[in-house]
């Protein structure tokens, strides 16, 4: 589904559920709309994968997504519909543990899905204040050369603090 001759490099910070969501969104947007199983089925499958990334899905939903994928493949007339569920089917086949972590543990192993992560400042913080300015909601406070504090209630999980910290003082949990 990524195109011919393409290569995607991923590491342990890649969320495979998020990867499936990304490709399904692309396929929903590319559907011509003439084929109901393709048009509606892929839309519903994408919505269900989104629920997984939000921590709102159940194990029963996972089974339903697998059944829906089968119906989309069998009922579609076009090539897009027949191959459309592949991003979900491939990731759930080889990375089921990641789906279950999202569903059961309400955690994203890749640290990507915003609804299932939080940022925390650890004891490696040198108090350099580099993370304070890029925070769009002023969720980080602290004096220079002192351990900073991140207010979880204010944090929007944008990752700006994580991106600028040069001391590995911010963990994604």
Q: What is the pLDDT of residues 5-52, one digit of tens each?
A: 778 889 989 999 999 999 999 999 999 999 999 999 999 999 999 999
Range of the domain at 49: 16-105
Say yes or no: 61 and 133 in one domain: no
Residue 35 and residue 92 in one domain: yes
The pLDDT of residue 3 is 63
Please name the residue that has the structure tokens 């921590």.
55
CA dist 157 and 166 (Å) reads 18
Q: What is the average per-residue pLDDT within 147-162? A: 97
pTM of the complete model: 0.88
Report yes or no on 10 lying in a domain.
no
Q: Which residue, 74, 82, 79, 85, is CA-closest to 49? A: 85
Question: Is residue 15 a contact partner of residue 97, using CB atoms and an 8 Å limit?
Answer: no
Q: Is residue 5 part of a domain?
A: no
Same domain membership, residue 126 and residue 65: no
Report if residue 111 sits inside a domain: no
What is the Cα 161 distance to its own chain's centre? 19
Q: What is the pLDDT of residues 86-136, one digit of tens each?
A: 999 999 999 999 999 999 999 999 999 999 999 999 999 999 999 999 999
- Tokens 């290569």 correspond to what residue? 7
DSSP 51: H
Asked if residue 7 is part of any domain, the answer here is no
Tell whether 98 and 155 lie within a shared domain. Answer: no
Same domain, 21 and 100: yes
Q: Is the pLDDT of residue 139 over 60?
A: yes
* pLDDT tier, 4 (very low <50, low <70, confident <90, very high otherwise): low
Indicate if 22 and 101 belong to the same structural domain. yes
Please count the other Cβ atoms lying within 10 Å of the Cβ belonging to residue 28: 19
User: Does one domain contain both 144 and 75?
Assistant: no
Q: Are residues 126 and 88 in the same domain?
A: no
Residues 124 and 152 in one domain: yes
Q: Judge whether 49 and 24 are in contact, CB under 8 Å.
A: yes
pLDDT of residue 158: 95
Task: Name, in order, each residue with C-beta under 8 angstroms of 145's C-beta and a sequence gap of 6 or more.
Answer: 126, 127
């Amino acid at each position: 589904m990524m195109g011919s001759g393409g290569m995607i490099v991923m590491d342990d910070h890649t969320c495979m559920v998020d990867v499936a969501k990304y490709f399904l969104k692309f396929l929903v947007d590319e559907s011509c709309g003439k084929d109901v199983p393709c048009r509606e089925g892929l839309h519903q499958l994408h919505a269900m994968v989104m629920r997984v990334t939000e921590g709102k899905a159940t194990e029963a939903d996972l089974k339903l997504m697998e059944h829906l994928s089968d119906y989309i493949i069998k009922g579609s007339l076009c090539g897009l519909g027949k191959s459309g569920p592949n991003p979900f089917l491939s990731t759930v086949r080889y990375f089921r543990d990641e789906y279950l972590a999202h569903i059961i543990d309400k955690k994203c192993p890749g640290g990507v899905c915003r609804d299932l992560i939080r940022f925390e400042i650890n004891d490696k913080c040198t108090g350099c204040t580099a993370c304070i300015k890029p925070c769009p909601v002023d969720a980080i406070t602290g004096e220079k050369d002192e351990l900073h504090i991140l207010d979880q209630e204010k944090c929007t999980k944008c990752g700006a603090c994580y991106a600028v910290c040069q001391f590995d003082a911010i963990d994604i949990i």
